[in-house]
Amino acid sequence: MVSIEESRSALRTVRDLVRYGVSRLNTERVALGHGSDNAWDEAVYLVLHALHLPLDTLDPFLDARVLDGERAAVLDLIDRRVTGRVPAAYLTNEAWLRGHRFYVDQRVIVPRSPIAELLDQGLAPWVADPDGVEYVLDMCTGSGCLAILAALAFPNTHVDAVDLSSDALEVARRNVNDYDLQDRVTLHQSDLFDALPSRAYDVIVCNPPYVNRTSMDALPPEYRHEPELALRGGEDGMDLVRRILEAAPRHLAQHGVLILEIGHEYENFVAAFPHLEPMWLETAGTSDQILLLTREQLVS
């Protein structure tokens, strides 16, 4: 009978390791969604990262033979992903969003907001003049990823990035420094708007905690490695959303807009705010998870 170690020693090429990774991930039924939505992409990422190969270049290396130490490093990473049910981003301390790398650890949720796609497009057509955007607020900034992407999208803007968690802000500070944006992105520890400077923001982007109680109770183990503070949204997921919508008009410029992510809470949002008629913004993978409200709508 062939031992596990003997069978693993038969994995000699990058192709072998990727195939093995896909099989392990599928067999163990790991939960995906922290950067990958399928076992192939997740396995490829883990293998290339462990081998210190370019993450966007697989084909030239598929039939390359691996050294014993390299094989051990790949298998260890796959084992930790499967047995610990830890999101890959926490194992590698990095997450990629719209081609940008961010440092992450378990002090912040793994960056994956589809708002990033909208920022990549400069929030067109809802922001007509990206160069004219003076102030942006990123509420519930976490790792700082959306604040950084906003600073890159709007070259003349100053971004205030807010979080209640001092731990999250330490991660955000590292990312702001990595992008050399210390002069354009200011981090604030605040309970939503409470400790913010007096500004009229042209754009507020916000990916708040919005997971409802029933969904929180059913989260797969991978998601339980993330800070509960950044996920839990109360009975209907709308606890912080209510506070944000109530306060936002006082912090928006006359023609300012609020871009708000609510995940899979569309029905709960509509039930909580039947009088609002937001514009629902589509991305490649979403149609009812991100909404836009103008200051005028929020005031009325």
Q: For position 271, which CATH number holds?
A: 3.40.50.150
pLDDT of residue 7: 72
> With contact defined as beta carbons under 8 Å apart, do 24 and 78 qualify?
yes
Residue 2: pLDDT above 50?
no
Question: pLDDT at position 173, please?
Answer: 98
Q: Tell me which of 32, 62, 92 is where a domain ends.
A: 92
100 and 76, same domain (yes or no): no
Which amino acid, one-letter code, is at 120?
D
| Same domain (yes/no): 129, 274 | yes
Query: Pick from 92, 118, 138: which residue ends a domain?
Result: 92
Q: What is the pLDDT of residue 5?
A: 63
User: Does one domain contain both 40 and 138?
Assistant: no
Contacts 24+ apart (CB under 8 A), 46-55: 46/21, 46/74, 46/77, 46/78, 46/81, 46/88, 46/91, 46/92, 47/14, 47/17, 47/18, 47/21, 47/74, 49/77, 49/92, 50/74, 50/76, 50/77, 51/14, 53/14, 55/96
258 touches 292 (CB < 8 A):
yes
Q: 289, 285, 262, 218: which is closest to 38 by C-alpha?
A: 285
Do residues 242 and 130 share a domain?
A: yes
Domain shared by 88 and 218, yes or no? no
Give the mean pLDDT of 87-112: 97
214 and 105 in one domain? yes
d(CA 88, CA 96): 11
**pLDDT of 9 strictly over 90:** no
| 152 and 275 inside one domain | yes
Cβ neighbours, 10 Å, residue 245: 21
Domain membership of residue 47 as a residue range: 4-92
The residue-averaged pLDDT of 123-152 equals 97
More confident residue, 216 or 8: 216
Q: Give the pLDDT confidence score for residue 18 in this predicted structure.
A: 97
77 and 108 co-located in one domain: no
Residues of the chain above pLDDT 90, percent: 95
Asked whether the predicted pLDDT for residue 3 surpasses 60, the reply is no
Average pLDDT, the chain: 95
Q: What is the pTM of this model?
A: 0.94
- Judge if 201 and 129 occupy the same domain: yes
Residue whose entry in the numeric block shows the structure tokens 């939503």: 192
Domain with 66 in it: what CATH number?
1.10.8
* Cis before 125? omega within 30: yes
What pLDDT score does 4 carry? 57
Contact between residue 110 and residue 87 where contact means Cβ atoms under 8 Å apart: yes
Averaged pLDDT, 101-113 = 98
How open is the CA angle 102-205-225, to the nearest 5 degrees? Answer: 45
Percent of the chain with pLDDT over 70: 98
pLDDT for 6 equals: 58
Number of domains in the chain: 2
Which pLDDT tens digit goes with each residue over 248-298?
999 999 999 999 999 999 999 999 999 999 999 999 989 999 999 999 999
- State the Cα angle at 138 between 172 and 96, rounded to 5°: 50
So what's the pLDDT on residue 300? 80
Do 40 and 159 fall within a single domain?
no
- Same domain? For 102 and 87 the reply is no
pLDDT at 134 over 60: yes
Residues 88, 89, 92, 95, Cα dihedral to 10°: 140
Last residue of a domain, one of 38, 62, 92: 92
Question: How many C-beta atoms surround the C-beta of residue 58 within 10 A?
Answer: 16
- Do residues 75 and 87 both lie within one domain? yes
